[in-house]
Chains A and B, each alone.
Chain A
Amino acid sequence: GQQVMQIPQYQHVQEGEDFTTYCNSSTTLSNIQWYKQRPGGHPVFLIQLVKSGEVKKQKRLTFQFGEAKKNSSLHITATQTTDVGTYFCAGRNNQGGKLIFGQGTELSVKP
């Protein structure tokens, strides 16, 4: 079945450093979503990417969707302590429409 792999599993950075998490799907995706889950909280929708090669920005966050629509990345510039949490990608394939979540990348930021 479809799998969505996400790396790294953990990332510890110093405040001000950049951070990137990568997401790879075993199959072509119709779209991909990104969520953030704070410690003890629930996933919060960040963004959806639909088009091949799409790049979207939200302040310090940059989201990319690969040309083949099988991979995606989230890049945070100059991390802050408020960025702490687990970032999940979730892909929807061309059939069925259900979201398959990656394993998540847990980000910790040292002040």
Chain B
Amino acid sequence: GAVVSQHPSRVICKSGTSVKIECRSLDFQATTMFWYRQFPKKSLMLMATSNEGSKATYEQGVEKDKFLINHASLTLSTLTVTSAHPEDSSFYICSARPLAGLTYEQYFGPGTRLTVT
């Protein structure tokens, strides 16, 4: 149980285009999902916290107009990178906190590797 999927797993896009990444909790409901960014050989940097039915909370320095987050249901959150640039190339990972059960657990998705050319 507690599986989180991300789609796509890998995407290459041209500079200036937008890319949408989906994060789904497959076998549990999650009121809260988190979006992280990870650079090679680096740690995970929290970008935003996504709450179902409300606006996402963005971390300092993360542009909310550039990284649009929508948490439409208890099992789906999306991250849209708008007008992507090469510096947005990174590994984006989501995690989901189950609605029920131990509140401290977070389950991570497999990540999406974005390359902007």
Contact = CB atoms under 8 A, between A and B. Distances in A.
B27 to A, nearest CB: 16
Contacts of A100: 46
Interface string B71-113: 0000000000000000000000101000000001111111100
A98 interface: yes
Contacts of B109: 42
B107 A45 contact: yes
A43 B44 CA distance: 9
Given A35-B108, A90-B44, 5 more contacts: A33-B104, A45-B108, A92-B104, A101-B45, A103-B42
A103 B111 contact: no
B49 interface: yes
Most buried by A among B43, B60, B93, B105: B43
Interface residues on B, range: 10 to 19
B31 to A, nearest CB: 13
Contacts of A99: 34, 46, 106
Nearest to B57: A98
B111 A45 contact: no
Contacts of B95: 43
Nearest to B103: A97
B108 to A, nearest CB: 5
Contacts of A1: 60
The 4 A-B residue pairs with the shortest CB-CB distance in the complex, in nearest-first order = A42-B108, A101-B44, A101-B43, A103-B43
